[in-house]
Amino acid sequence: MQLIDGKNTAELLKNELAIEVAARKEKGFKTPHLAAILVGEDGASQTYVNSKVKSCEQIGFASTLKHLPATISEEELLKIVEEFNQNDDIDGFIVQLPLPNHIDADKITLAISPEKDVDGFHPSNIGKMVLGLPCYLPATPFGIVKLLEQYNIETSGKHAVVIGRSNIVGSPMSILLARNEKVGNCTVTLTHSRTKNLKELSLQADIIIAAIGKPEFVTADMVKKGAIVIDVGTTRVPDASKKSGFALKGDVKFDEVAPKCSFITPVPGGVGPMTVTALLFNTLNAAKKKDKI
């Protein structure tokens, strides 16, 4: 069993990005600028957004964080989104999810300019991804593709089972794995909470992407020997032994599944750091579109 170290891989890729950003600056090109809008006081969201800001500083990006109260109206948030759309210095921005219940997340996503949608959630980018056209890929699936690429994991001809059909991870991941690309060419089965023979299907999988949002959902009896398991889940579970009062659990019961795997990602330190790195790649590509040769 080999552990797929997302934290270390993210650092290696960020070092490469830092070199490219420094070279851009020397040539007089624009410094990439990533912005984030955070609404409310969700602890996990704050941690995630702070890691984005820190990563921007690390590689030489400009960054902006707009932290808004949970009481902000949908109309006010839409105005701020439009301000970011019109700000030429901002190359890409994200509105951190989840949003408070009184705000329609789909309406906010649609309001983000596709050219600045570095999270890859806008229907324009999703549609281009489906067609195999250049676009900003959804950050977490893009990060997973980068992980598989860095570890030289062969995917062509493999049977991949994706557990979870969210628009953020599961559905786009199934599309990316099926594409005719270096990381791709899989036969993909997309499963979810209503799938009746899930265990039977997962036992057939050469590659399992667990993204259902249920802690330790995937157990050893669902995984065949030698499978590659990518755990996307991050659920906070109460744990009195931790200083924070909680532990992070993935969608995979790691201790019992890991011995059966050829490769597996841990939680934390697996997919999470790669999501941030994917955002940085998308933002750099957005900045490059403004380069005047």
Residues making up the annotated binding site are 164-166, 234
CA–CA separation, 155 vs 177, rounded Å? 8
For 63, the 3-state DSSP assignment is strand
Show which residues are catalytic. 52, 96, 119
Question: The tokens of 42 are what?
Answer: 């969700």
**Contact between residue 96 and residue 49 where contact means Cβ atoms under 8 Å apart:** yes
First-to-final CA distance of the chain: 47
Q: What is the 3-state secondary structure (H, E, C) of 131-174?
A: HCCCCCCCHHHHHHHHHHHHCCCCCCCCEEEEECCCCCCHHHHH
Question: The tokens of 265 are what?
Answer: 């990602």
Residue positions forming the annotated binding site for NADP(+): 164-166, 234
Closest CA to 176 of 163, 186, 168, 191: 186
